[in-house]
């Protein structure tokens, strides 16, 4: 009786454990190791309870674990609230389906298939959603591993989808090996497959990092005011003061800086006031021998642009990159062109552009070594968004200079290592600066830059195969082993059937 009584508490324990671990292991300040552990209690529980109970516990655990995200979507103006809530609730519903698929395959005596099918379903659905989602994606699991370069190197082949897959695959594999009713051969096959996958990923990561720090380097600076001011009028007294302050900060940078990146929407301009921004900043850059990149919200006759403007150190004509991607309803003219520095090694992008594969992948194919990205994050999400950008750099093989308002200005290299960072929210200083030497990076485009989201489509195919496998009957138990009771409404206790 006591055993059955304790077993009845398993769903509550699994719910509390996974919800707490998801809360700590994901979101805006995650503990990377906990991301791998968070799903494990749910996957362990799933084959031991009814399908209804497994789905309900999985849904609630993930939903409760995203409490911090819900709070953010309630106050952010960048993502409409219905879309924000759809992201949280939809991903929780999806996690429940992942658990159900895992459970179905485990209970059919296919633990190895279950270990692969669960994460494949997760990646497949997210991949398909991103094809139509106007907000792109900040990967819910992969981003939390952004500062674990040994793991993230696989993104150069599979895209960040490979990291997303792996973070779910490991707990799936462990739970499958511990599942009730799996025979010795199935456990052996599942264990070998898990060891092989993890070994290949970590071995590839170690090999790729061993070849890091290629020839050549460029000293880069990111610079941001700590007072959030979205597109202040450049013609106003405050706007003119801000231009002078930025020019003074550029003048005070260490020697050797060749590229300086300022935030998105640092100034609001029109045809009359634009020279008041371009002139002083270009002059400050020329004096330091540095290109300056600044985000400008520009009002032209009948049109509005969100520009990343490159002011070349040699005094040649400014280069204007128009942002490609916006939240629904934004009143801007969308850009469609890549823009480069004079030597062709620095590409321009803008904040939300990195929520999508392009333009980053196209820059990787074109040979860009550094992506200069003015950004305008919001209170709380700066770390998460900048590390999403970092993963784009690993995917396509470029360094990243991310200059964010109210966020986390950051410089990373093509292997995803953070070389310099600052925090606009944790200081009373009027400006923050990060400076770093970024290496030239790997020669030639990465596999991901060449072939794109092929891994997402592989996961779609794996998911379809797994769904077909669930339609087949359960394999007979090995000779001499009694069939275990199939729980419907209660918890299965080993040796006791239903409790």
Helix (H), strand (E) at residue 419: strand 418-421
User: pLDDT at residue 2 above 60?
Assistant: no
Q: Is the pLDDT of residue 344 over 50?
A: yes
pLDDT grade, residue 426 (50/70/90)?
confident
Distance (Å, rounded) from C-alpha 301 to C-alpha 346? 30
d(CA 374, CA 352): 10
- Asked if pLDDT for residue 214 goes beyond 70, the answer is no
Residue pointed to by tokens 């996690």: 95
- For residue 211, pLDDT over 60 is answered with yes
More confident residue, 285 or 493: 285
Give the range among 116-120, 256-260, 437-441 with minimum mean pLDDT: 437-441
Residue in the structure block whose two tokens are 């090995």: 478
d(CA 272, CA 255): 33
Strands (E), 254-290: 257-261, 267-270
Average pLDDT, the chain: 90
Residues 124-170: tens digit of each pLDDT: 999 999 999 888 899 999 999 999 999 999 999 999 999 999 999 99
What pLDDT score was predicted for residue 71? 76
Between 70-79, 101-110, 123-132, 175-184, the lowest mean confidence (pLDDT) is in: 70-79
Q: What is the pLDDT of residue 3?
A: 55
The verdict on pTM exceeding 0.85 is: yes
**295 or 194: which leads in pLDDT:** 295
pLDDT digits (tens, 9 = 90+) for 452-477: 999 999 999 999 999 998 886 554 44
Closest CA to 383 of 406, 359, 417: 406
Q: Which of 223, 148, 178 is nearest to 387 (CA)?
A: 148
Q: Outline where 27-80 has alpha helix (H).
A: 32-37, 40-45, 51-65, 67-75
The H or E element that residue 217 is part of is strand 217-225
| Domains of the chain, start order | 2-211+450-498 (no CATH), 217-441 (3.60.110.10)
Those residues whose C-beta lies under 8 Å from the C-beta of residue 188, and which sit 6 or more positions away, are none
Tokens linked to 424 = 């606009």
pLDDT digit string, tens, across residues 28-68: 889 999 999 999 999 999 999 999 999 999 999 999 999 88
pLDDT higher for 307 or 484?
307
């Amino acid at each position: 009786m006591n055993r059955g009584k304790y077993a009845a508490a398993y769903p509550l324990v699994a719910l509390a454990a996974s919800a707490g671990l998801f809360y700590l292991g994901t979101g805006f300040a995650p503990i990377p190791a906990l991301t791998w552990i968070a799903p494990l209690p749910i996957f362990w529980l799933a084959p031991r309870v009814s399908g209804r109970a497994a789905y309900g516990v999985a849904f609630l655990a993930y939903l409760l674990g995203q409490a911090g995200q819900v709070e953010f979507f309630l106050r952010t103006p960048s993502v409409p609230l219905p879309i924000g809530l759809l992201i949280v609730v939809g991903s929780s519903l999806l996690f429940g389906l992942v658990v159900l698929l895992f459970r179905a395959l485990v209970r059919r005596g296919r633990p190895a298939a279950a270990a692969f099918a669960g994460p494949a379903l997760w990646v497949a659905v997210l991949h398909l959603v991103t094809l139509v989602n106007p907000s792109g994606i900040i990967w819910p699991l992969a981003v939390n591993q952004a500062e674990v370069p040994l793991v993230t190197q696989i993104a150069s082949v599979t895209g960040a989808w490979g990291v997303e897959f792996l973070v779910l695959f490991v707990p799936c594999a462990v739970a499958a090996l511990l599942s009730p009713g799996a025979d010795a051969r199935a456990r052996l096959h599942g264990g070998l497959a898990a060891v092989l996958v993890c070994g290949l990923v970590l071995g590839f990561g170690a090999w790729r990092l061993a070849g890091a720090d290629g020839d050549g380097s460029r000293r880069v600076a990111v610079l941001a005011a700590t007072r959030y001011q979205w597109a202040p009028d450049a013609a106003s007294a405050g706007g003119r003061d801000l231009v002078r302050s930025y020019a003074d900060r550029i003048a005070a940078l260490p020697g050797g800086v060749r590229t300086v990146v300022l935030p998105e929407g640092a100034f609001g301009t029109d045809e009359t006031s634009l020279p008041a921004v371009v002139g002083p900043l270009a002059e400050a850059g020329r004096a330091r021998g540095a290109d300056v990149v600044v985000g400008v919200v520009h009002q032209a006759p009948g049109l509005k642009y969100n520009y990343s403007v490159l002011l070349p150190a040699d005094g040649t004509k400014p280069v204007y990159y128009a942002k490609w991607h916006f939240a629904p309803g934004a009143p801007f003219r969308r850009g469609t062109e890549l823009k480069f520095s004079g030597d062709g090694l620095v590409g321009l992008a803008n904040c939300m552009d990195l929520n999508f594969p392009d333009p980053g992948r196209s820059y990787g194919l074109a040979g860009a070594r550094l992506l200069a990205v003015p950004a305008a994050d919001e209170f709380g999400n700066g770390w998460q968004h900048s590390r999403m950008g970092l993963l784009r750099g690993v995917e396509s093989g470029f360094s990243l200079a991310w200059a964010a308002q109210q966020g986390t200005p950051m410089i990373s290299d093509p292997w995803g290592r953070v070389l310099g960072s600052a925090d606009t929210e944790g200081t009373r200083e009027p400006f923050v600066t990060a400076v770093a030497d970024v290496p030239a990076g790997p020669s030639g485009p990465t596999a991901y830059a060449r072939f794109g989201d092929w891994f997402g489509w592989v996961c779609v195919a794996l998911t379809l195969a797994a769904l077909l496998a669930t339609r087949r009957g359960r394999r007979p138990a090995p000779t001499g082993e009694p069939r275990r009771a199939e729980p419907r409404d209660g918890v299965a206790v080993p040796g006791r059937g239903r409790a």
